[in-house]
Amino acid sequence: MSPRRLEWQLTSACLAVFVCALASSASARDLTEILTEKGLITPEEGAEAKATTTKPTVAYKEGLGFVFATPDKRFSLAVGGYLQVRYTLTDIDGRYVNPSRGTTDSQSFDVPRARLWWQGTAFTPRLYYKIEIDVATTASGDTLRDAYLGYAVVENDWLSIRGGQYKTNYSRQEMTSDARQEFVERALATLNFRFDRAKGIQLSGTPMNSLIEYYAGVFNTTGRNGPANPSNDFLYLGRFVVNPLGPIPYSEGDFGPTPSPLVALGASYGYERTPASSFTSAATAGPNPDDPTQTILTSTGTGINRVPYQLMIQPAYSRLQNPNDLTVGIQNFETDLAARWIGFDLSFEYFLGWNNTQFLRSVPPAPFVLPPSNFNSRGYYGQLGYFVIPKKVQLAARYSEITPNEKAEVRLFNGTTVTQRQSEMLGAVDYYFSEHNLKLQTDFGPLDSYGVRDAAGNTSNRHDFRWRVQAQLVF
């Protein structure tokens, strides 16, 4: 090698090192390219350097947050969250206005959700995790929402396993994030029939470009942030979905708009057996103040966990002397339909629950009351949305109804008999600045309760009206 060529290479190397020292903020890829261009490393060595470098990159992705990642794809972390600010006006049926019972017309400002999340991958793109908290929560011990670890066992979405606390895959609308709804809140039926979050383990997959989806999980029966499982029994859930024309995302609203029709058909089944004491406290009894020779219930049991379905049926078990004497066998069935096309989106879900009282240890004395040996619960909702201005202005309508206990019949003051139930009929107008990441929503409509006692003590039907406005930012 000639002295001139050696001198040139040494000079180039010194310049390269000097550039590296000055450009400490440059990416590893840029420095690798510089060294390759100078001929100090071969293209093969440059490719290897790119593959092994661990200096992280930082980017912002709407809907996900700030994303930190290493170029070798071994580690990633997204930090983000969302905030909802809400105003609610409730006009209560005049027959039920009773200040001493708190049933008056009301206006209120609220922050229903203020979520923060940390999610990403570690060591391999197939190992993923998520932690999510709600800093708007005021209930003790209820800040944590998600905390799970998952692994893609088989590539191409054929099989994944996940463990920790997260949403149970039972209801389509429940699986759809609170931040991706076209109404201010989920439907009345979903809010009551869902199982919400729970601790457990699950197998799932969405193979063949989500032509099918399947989920099978085992969870504690005590719900979100609940205590340890009270027995050897668990909540078992399974779900299967078919997307014959292509996948429909778990996000409401057809922003596309979708040029060709899409449809999804799903069904879910759940089974659990749990002591009544895991979701209701005991009733208490004492002397009748009007007749001390008689014993009456002085208070009924109250709900003690965060499982929406268990809390919905809890009133049927609220007059037990010892709730631990009963074990409740619960079976739940759900079916759903979703469709998208040219700005329209349609959603429908039907829920059915079978509830059986089992393993009674002793018959409680009067005035304590046993629940029915078995009863059914049912509910449904249907909603339709349409973008009158694509991607910006959406109109939507929804009807939902629940019957917590089909055997809970009461006689109204006019002599007719009615099964106790609730319903809502809502309209919505939404304006999207940046899809669900920045939006302003309002919904309004009547809320009806059938077979409840009014302020005068008569059993009748109650008709309220509610209007909500909500602003949301995903950051």
Question: What phi and psi values does residue 314 have, to the nearest 5 degrees?
Answer: -55, -40
Cβ pair 239, 205 in contact under 8 A:
no
Give the residue ranges of the chain where pLDDT is below 50. Answer: 1-29
Fill in the DSSP letter of residue 134: E
Q: What are the angstrom distances between the C-alpha of 189 and each of 102, 200, 339, 423, 439?
A: 25, 24, 19, 9, 24
Closest CA to 337 of 324, 349, 325, 345: 349
First to last CA, the chain: 59
Encoding tokens for residue 113?
Answer: 């959700």
Nearest alpha-carbon partner for 334 in 356, 309, 312: 309
The residue extents of the domains of the chain are: 27-61, 66-386
Tallying the residues shown for the chain, one arrives at 475
Greatest Cα pair distance, the chain, in angstroms, is 118
Residue 435 CA to residue 195 CA, distance in Å, equals: 28
Within a 13 Å sphere around the CA of 22, how many CA atoms are in the beta-carbon half? 6
Distances (CA, A) of 61 to 58, 77, 81, 255: 10, 12, 12, 18
What pLDDT does 466 receive?
98
Fold of the 66-386 domain: Porin (2.40.160)
User: So what's the pLDDT on residue 26?
Assistant: 39
Residues 240/213, Cβ–Cβ less than 8 Å: yes
Q: Do 187 and 193 meet the contact criterion of CB atoms below 8 Å apart?
A: no
Beta pairing partners, 337: 265, 348
User: CA 63 to CA 34: how far, in whole Å?
Assistant: 35
- The answer to whether residues 216 and 202 touch, using CB atoms and an 8 Å cutoff, is yes
**Residue 190: which region, alpha, beta or left (left: phi > 0; alpha: psi -120 to 50)?**
alpha
- The pTM (predicted TM-score) of the whole model is 0.87
Place of tokens 């709730």: 323
Q: What is the DSSP letter of 365?
A: P
